[in-house]
Structures are given as C-alpha cells and as structure tokens.
Amino acid sequence: MALETRLTKVLGIRHPIISAPMAFAAGGRLAAAVSAAGGLGLIGGGYGDRTWLEGEWQSAGDAAVGCGFITWSVAKQPALLDEALSHAPRAVLLSFGDPAPFAERIRSSGAKLICQVQTRRDAEHAVDCGADIIVAQGSEAGGHGELRSTMTLVPEAADLIAAKSPATLLCAAGGIADGRGLAAALLLGADGVLVGSRLWASREANVSTGMHEAALAATGDATIRSQVMDLARKLDWPPRYTARVLRNAFTNRWHGREDELVAVADEEAAKYRQAWAAGDPEASNTFIGEGVGLIHDIQPVADIIDRMVAGAETRLHAGAGLVRG
C-alpha cells in the first residue's frame, strides 16, 4: 500500500502526508507517530514557548520530524528558529507572515523550507523565497487562514509552480480528512497533503477529552471563522487572518461584538486561559476545520494514515475505471 509522488521521493517517506504543526496539539509524540507511520510529522512551534518546545523535541526522541512556526510570532523571537535548527529538523514550515527573512537560514541548515500560503500572491512570493514545498491552504482548514477554497487555490498554485518553478513541490491543505480528500488533492495537481484536523483527532495529539468529544458530536456546519478567540487571548494576529473553530457559547456571545470584547479583554483573557487549561469546549475554543464532519472516532495516528492512504488508492483506481477509450 503506497502512493508514490514527488513528495515521497524528495522527503524519503512512504506516504505523501505531512502533519500540520498545530499550536499546542502537535507535540513531539504526534509528530513522531506521523513519521513512524510513513509521513512527515511536524512539531507545532506555536507562539514561542521555549520550554514547551524543547520538551516536545525531547518527546519526539530520535524520530525524523520537522517543526512549524507562526511566522509573525517567531519574528519576535528569532532565536527560537536557531534552537529548532539545532535539532536538525527534516523541514521547517512557516505560515502567516513573510518567510523571506528566514528562508536562507533554514535552507542552508539542510532542512526543507515549507511555506504555507493562503493566496496565489503569497504562493508566488514563496517561490521567490526559494521554498522547497508550498502548502496551499484553503479556508476549510481549522485554525488560522484566509478565504480562498482548497478546490481552486491548489490548482492555481499548481499552475503557477509549473510555469515558474517546476522543481518546487506542492501540498494541499484544508478539509482533507480521509482518502477522498487525499485522492482529490493529487488530482488537483498536489504532490501530497498537509493534514491538520484529522490528526488533531488522534490519540497522540495534545487535545483534551472534552474538545475531542465536542468535535465528534459536530458536523462541518458547526464551524465558524472569527477573530474573537484571538482578541480574548490578546494575541496580535494580523487582521487578514481569522481562525476556524467550533461554534460554542463563547463565539455565540462575542462574534459580531468584537469592540465590546476588546473593552473587557483583560478580564476575558484570564477566563479564557483558565478554560483552555481545563479543556473546556464551551468557554474556550475547539480549533478544528470543516473536515470535522468526516471525523467519527479518535484513533491512533498509524490507523488514521493507513486508512487515508487505502481510501485514496481505492478512489484513484475507481476513478481510472470511469475512463473509456
């Protein structure tokens, strides 16, 4: 059981699957499990907690993993990138900001530079920065992103890469939660996929039981893109990015009342932090994408990946059978 693509050949992996470096959820245990299952696991650098990040590198052990950073955040703590590079990561993913200041440092270390983009314009800039792999992230994705859909952004990025930098690899992200999504991404012109939500819903992810249960009870209709969770956490996210989360009591209260939330941010920030630490899915937020409606269980990473690849192979073979001479 294998899908051989340019991504598997370049990275030396069995399956064309990279795990998203989801802040907090994507620790060393998740990243190591993805790599052991034949993909490439990425530790989530998040907002730059040095102690947490170092602990997750230790949790990954000797596994061949990489790391991902929120670009605008690591720009405030560039030493964190140097620390990550000291662990000889297979790849470093940058998203939500300009990768140019860090691109040469990453590539000269021997790590593959992965740039996640949300627009065609940003994909072109990533090519100019020398990205080895571009991830075209559609708005279906959980967590932060923009407004383009996976279905149109991926082939547009594929056309750009073919015309401007054919050696650059392309991964699709956003709403890819089973074999159908993986097969579709390959047919859209991607070399592989970056998977977030489905691996978030795994036994190895750093996710509370309450948030997992909330996700299993939800459908894709239950998500919303909003800024209120960032305002409540007093995080300085650029306004172009919103986050997709499950609708809950918190979003029902504050979405559309952002100015009022800012006015009481100090009080709400303390409440939010407490709820997050407790894994409360109503008073904090469950960061998951529209693919939540395709997730019906919490499984080990190896089972998730095996099932996704087998499902993709079945769909691709079935699709080939539709063609008549």
Split at pLDDT 50, 70, 90, the class of 1 is: low
Instruction: Give CA angle at 51 (48, 52), nearest 5°.
Output: 70
- The structural domain count of the chain equals 2
Instruction: Report if residue 284 sits inside a domain.
Output: no
Instruction: Please give the pLDDT value at position 55.
Output: 95
Cβ contact 61:109 at 8 Å: no
Q: Based on the fold, state whether residues 302 and 251 are members of the same structural domain.
A: no
* pLDDT reading at 323 higher than 80: no
Q: Which two tokens stand for residue 225?
A: 């893109």
Residue range 192-218: mean pLDDT, rounded:
98
Residue range 267-276: mean pLDDT, rounded:
92
Instruction: Report if residue 212 sits inside a domain.
Output: no
Q: Based on the fold, state whether residues 75 and 186 are members of the same structural domain.
A: yes
Cβ contact 98:128 at 8 Å: no
Q: Based on the fold, state whether residues 297 and 168 are members of the same structural domain.
A: yes
Residue range 258-271: mean pLDDT, rounded:
92
Q: Based on the fold, state whether residues 199 and 227 are members of the same structural domain.
A: no
Q: Greater confidence, 314 or 1? A: 314
Which domain range does residue 139 map to?
6-206+292-320
Task: Return mean pLDDT, the chain.
Answer: 96
| pLDDT per residue as tens digits for the range 278-306 | 999 999 999 999 999 999 999 999 999 99
Q: Based on the fold, state whether residues 129 and 250 are members of the same structural domain.
A: no
Cβ contact 45:70 at 8 Å: yes
Percentage above 70 pLDDT, the chain = 99
| pLDDT per residue as tens digits for the range 10-42 | 999 999 999 999 999 999 999 999 999 999 999
| pLDDT per residue as tens digits for the range 87-102 | 999 999 999 999 999 9
| pLDDT per residue as tens digits for the range 145-161 | 999 999 999 999 999 99
Exposed/middle/buried for 275, CB within 10 Å: 0-12, 13-18, 19+? middle
Q: Based on the fold, state whether residues 197 and 99 are members of the same structural domain.
A: yes
Q: Based on the fold, state whether residues 64 and 178 are members of the same structural domain.
A: yes
Instruction: Please give the pLDDT value at position 321.
Output: 80
With a threshold of 0.85, does the pTM exceed it? yes
CATH (domain of 32): 3.20.20.70
Exposed/middle/buried for 183, CB within 10 Å: 0-12, 13-18, 19+? buried
Exposed/middle/buried for 208, CB within 10 Å: 0-12, 13-18, 19+? middle
Instruction: Please give the pLDDT value at position 322.
Output: 80
Cβ contact 158:6 at 8 Å: no
* pLDDT reading at 2 higher than 80: no
Instruction: Please give the pLDDT value at position 320.
Output: 80
